Amino acid sequence: MNREIKTAVFPGTFDPPTLGHMDVVMRGRKLFDHLIVAIGRNPDKTELFPIAERLEMIRSLLADAANVSVETYDGLTVGLVQKRGAVAIVRGLRNMTDMDYEFQLALTNRAVAQVETVFIMTNEKFGFTSSSLIRQIAALGGDLSNLSGLLPPLVIDKLQEYRRSRKGPFAQVQTA
Protein backbone atom coordinates (compact mmCIF):
# COMPACT_ATOMS: atom_id res chain seq x y z
CA MET A 1 0.00 0.00 0.00
CA ASN A 2 1.42 3.36 -1.05
CA ARG A 3 0.78 5.99 1.61
CA GLU A 4 0.91 9.72 0.83
CA ILE A 5 3.68 11.61 2.61
CA LYS A 6 2.26 14.19 5.00
CA THR A 7 4.20 17.45 4.87
CA ALA A 8 3.69 20.48 7.10
CA VAL A 9 5.20 23.97 7.05
CA PHE A 10 6.45 25.75 10.18
CA PRO A 11 6.76 29.40 9.09
CA GLY A 12 8.37 32.29 10.89
CA THR A 13 11.01 34.97 10.70
CA PHE A 14 13.20 33.14 13.25
CA ASP A 15 15.17 36.31 13.91
CA PRO A 16 16.91 34.98 15.88
CA PRO A 17 16.00 31.30 16.17
CA THR A 18 15.29 30.36 19.79
CA LEU A 19 15.17 27.15 21.79
CA GLY A 20 11.38 27.62 21.76
CA HIS A 21 11.43 27.43 17.96
CA MET A 22 13.61 24.32 18.11
CA ASP A 23 11.21 22.77 20.64
CA VAL A 24 8.27 23.27 18.26
CA VAL A 25 10.29 21.80 15.38
CA MET A 26 11.20 18.70 17.37
CA ARG A 27 7.59 18.17 18.40
CA GLY A 28 6.22 18.91 14.93
CA ARG A 29 8.58 16.54 13.16
CA LYS A 30 7.05 13.67 15.15
CA LEU A 31 3.58 14.47 13.79
CA PHE A 32 4.42 14.67 10.08
CA ASP A 33 6.54 12.72 7.63
CA HIS A 34 8.27 15.92 6.53
CA LEU A 35 8.43 19.31 8.23
CA ILE A 36 9.56 22.38 6.31
CA VAL A 37 10.93 25.18 8.46
CA ALA A 38 10.12 28.17 6.27
CA ILE A 39 11.94 31.42 6.93
CA GLY A 40 9.98 34.40 5.68
CA ARG A 41 9.98 38.12 5.93
CA ASN A 42 7.60 40.18 8.01
CA PRO A 43 7.23 43.70 6.60
CA ASP A 44 6.29 44.93 10.08
CA LYS A 45 9.62 43.86 11.61
CA THR A 46 13.15 45.15 11.17
CA GLU A 47 15.51 42.23 10.60
CA LEU A 48 18.50 41.72 12.85
CA PHE A 49 20.10 38.91 10.86
CA PRO A 50 19.92 38.73 7.07
CA ILE A 51 17.68 35.91 5.86
CA ALA A 52 20.65 34.00 4.41
CA GLU A 53 22.34 33.97 7.83
CA ARG A 54 19.15 32.75 9.53
CA LEU A 55 18.91 30.00 6.93
CA GLU A 56 22.50 28.95 7.65
CA MET A 57 21.94 29.01 11.44
CA ILE A 58 18.75 26.95 11.34
CA ARG A 59 20.17 24.43 8.88
CA SER A 60 23.12 23.99 11.22
CA LEU A 61 20.87 23.63 14.28
CA LEU A 62 18.68 21.04 12.53
CA ALA A 63 21.38 19.16 10.63
CA ASP A 64 20.56 15.89 12.43
CA ALA A 65 16.77 16.13 12.01
CA ALA A 66 16.29 13.70 9.12
CA ASN A 67 12.72 14.62 8.20
CA VAL A 68 13.16 18.39 8.45
CA SER A 69 14.17 20.76 5.66
CA VAL A 70 14.79 24.48 5.89
CA GLU A 71 14.11 27.05 3.19
CA THR A 72 13.31 30.69 2.68
CA TYR A 73 10.26 32.11 0.96
CA ASP A 74 8.65 35.36 -0.09
CA GLY A 75 4.97 36.13 -0.09
CA LEU A 76 2.11 34.50 1.73
CA THR A 77 2.67 31.36 3.78
CA VAL A 78 -0.40 29.70 2.25
CA GLY A 79 1.23 30.08 -1.17
CA LEU A 80 4.26 28.11 0.02
CA VAL A 81 2.02 25.50 1.65
CA GLN A 82 0.15 24.96 -1.61
CA LYS A 83 3.36 24.97 -3.69
CA ARG A 84 4.92 22.27 -1.48
CA GLY A 85 1.73 20.19 -1.27
CA ALA A 86 1.69 20.47 2.51
CA VAL A 87 -1.35 19.40 4.51
CA ALA A 88 -0.93 21.89 7.35
CA ILE A 89 0.79 24.87 8.86
CA VAL A 90 2.45 24.26 12.23
CA ARG A 91 2.36 27.12 14.71
CA GLY A 92 3.86 27.30 18.17
CA LEU A 93 1.87 28.67 21.08
CA ARG A 94 3.39 30.13 24.22
CA ASN A 95 0.43 31.79 25.91
CA MET A 96 -3.12 33.09 25.50
CA THR A 97 -1.92 36.22 23.69
CA ASP A 98 -0.43 33.98 21.00
CA MET A 99 -3.68 32.02 20.88
CA ASP A 100 -5.78 35.11 20.08
CA TYR A 101 -3.56 36.10 17.15
CA GLU A 102 -2.95 32.56 15.87
CA PHE A 103 -6.63 31.61 16.03
CA GLN A 104 -7.55 34.54 13.79
CA LEU A 105 -4.72 33.70 11.39
CA ALA A 106 -5.68 30.01 11.28
CA LEU A 107 -9.32 30.80 10.52
CA THR A 108 -8.27 33.18 7.76
CA ASN A 109 -5.89 30.65 6.21
CA ARG A 110 -8.61 28.02 6.23
CA ALA A 111 -11.20 30.41 4.75
CA VAL A 112 -9.05 31.81 1.95
CA ALA A 113 -6.84 28.83 1.09
CA GLN A 114 -8.40 25.73 2.74
CA VAL A 115 -5.18 25.24 4.73
CA GLU A 116 -5.38 23.69 8.20
CA THR A 117 -3.25 24.80 11.14
CA VAL A 118 -1.85 22.54 13.83
CA PHE A 119 -0.94 24.25 17.11
CA ILE A 120 1.90 22.97 19.24
CA MET A 121 2.34 24.23 22.78
CA THR A 122 5.94 25.02 23.47
CA ASN A 123 7.62 23.67 26.55
CA GLU A 124 6.59 25.81 29.51
CA LYS A 125 10.18 26.94 30.10
CA PHE A 126 9.99 28.80 26.77
CA GLY A 127 6.56 30.31 27.46
CA PHE A 128 7.92 33.85 27.71
CA THR A 129 10.61 33.61 25.03
CA SER A 130 10.22 35.67 21.88
CA SER A 131 12.64 36.73 19.17
CA SER A 132 11.44 40.31 19.62
CA LEU A 133 12.42 40.29 23.30
CA ILE A 134 15.76 38.67 22.46
CA ARG A 135 16.45 41.42 19.89
CA GLN A 136 15.55 44.04 22.49
CA ILE A 137 17.86 42.55 25.12
CA ALA A 138 20.67 42.40 22.59
CA ALA A 139 20.00 45.91 21.25
CA LEU A 140 19.97 47.48 24.68
CA GLY A 141 23.24 45.90 25.76
CA GLY A 142 21.91 43.06 27.88
CA ASP A 143 24.21 40.28 29.00
CA LEU A 144 23.97 37.71 26.20
CA SER A 145 25.35 34.94 28.42
CA ASN A 146 22.11 35.20 30.44
CA LEU A 147 20.23 33.96 27.37
CA SER A 148 21.72 30.46 27.43
CA GLY A 149 18.43 28.93 28.57
CA LEU A 150 16.57 30.61 25.71
CA LEU A 151 18.93 30.41 22.74
CA PRO A 152 21.14 27.74 21.20
CA PRO A 153 24.86 28.42 21.79
CA LEU A 154 25.34 29.02 18.04
CA VAL A 155 22.83 31.89 18.15
CA ILE A 156 24.46 33.45 21.22
CA ASP A 157 27.79 33.30 19.38
CA LYS A 158 26.22 34.99 16.33
CA LEU A 159 24.69 37.71 18.51
CA GLN A 160 28.06 38.35 20.17
CA GLU A 161 29.75 38.43 16.77
CA TYR A 162 27.11 40.85 15.50
CA ARG A 163 27.54 43.08 18.54
CA ARG A 164 31.34 43.14 18.13
CA SER A 165 31.04 44.01 14.45
CA ARG A 166 28.81 46.97 15.35
CA LYS A 167 31.18 48.12 18.14
CA GLY A 168 28.65 48.19 20.95
CA PRO A 169 24.95 47.62 21.41
CA PHE A 170 22.86 47.36 18.25
CA ALA A 171 21.87 51.02 18.31
CA GLN A 172 20.46 50.91 14.79
CA VAL A 173 18.28 47.85 15.43
CA GLN A 174 14.60 48.56 15.98
CA THR A 175 12.67 46.08 18.09
CA ALA A 176 9.16 46.63 16.81
Sign of CA dihedral 103, 107, 109, 114: positive
Active site residue 94: yes
Catalytic residue among 27, 34, 41, 45: 45
Active site residue 34: no
Active-site residue, from 54, 131, 135, 158: 131
- Cα separations (Å) of 74 from 4, 6, 66, 101? 27, 23, 25, 21
E runs forming strands in the chain: 7-12, 34-39, 68-72, 88-93, 116-121
Amino acid at 12: G
Q: Considering the candidates 54, 91, 94, 135, report the single residue annotated as catalytic.
A: 94
User: What number of other Cβ atoms are within 10 A of residue 138's Cβ?
Assistant: 23
Catalytic-role residue among 21, 54, 91, 135: 21
What φ, ψ does residue 40 adopt, rounded to 5°?
-120, -175
Q: Among all residues, which ones are annotated catalytic?
A: 21, 45, 94, 131
